[in-house]
Amino acid sequence: MGFCSKCGKELADDAFFCPRCGVRTAAGVTAGATPPVMEEMRDALLRAGKEIEKAVNKAAKEMDDTLTKAKENVHATKAKMNQTCPNCGAANLGNAAYCPKCGTKLS
């Protein structure tokens, strides 16, 4: 039975850390137990990791949105490239301004 070197609390023989103030006991030092500050740092890192993960997920989602919009634009462009004459029905007119079959002005 020992006492905490910091706060004086009675310590169990097998205690590696003071149950009151968390300071590492002589037994804890001997056993090489992880100091509480390391635990806190690990928790902080884990939390930071979660934040980074969230940020990455958010960025990925924004990238997805951008890609979806880009794809929509490509579809729109393709639709224009494959325009059909509204007058004579000639198809695959590309980006022609006028129908090569009937001369109708294409939008």
The structure tokens listed for 64 are 């997805």
Dihedral sign, CA of 79, 85, 91, 93?
A: negative
* Interacting positions 3-22 with Zn ion (CB under 5 A): 4, 6-7, 9, 18, 20-21
CA distance 49 to 33: 24
Residue 78 CA, distance from chain mean position: 33
Select 7 or 45, whichever has its Cβ closest to Zn ion: 7
Using CB under 5 A as the criterion, what x/- string covers residues 65-84 for binding Zn ion?
--------------------
CA distance 25 to 23: 6
| Least distance CB 68 / Zn ion (angstroms) | 34
Residue from 30, 68, 95, 104 in contact with Zn ion (CB under 5 A)? 104
Select 12 or 52, whichever has its Cβ closest to Zn ion: 12
Contact 41, 34 (CB under 8 A): no
Binding residues for Zn ion, per CB under 5 A?
Answer: 4, 6-7, 9, 18, 20-21, 23, 85, 87-88, 90, 99, 101-102, 104
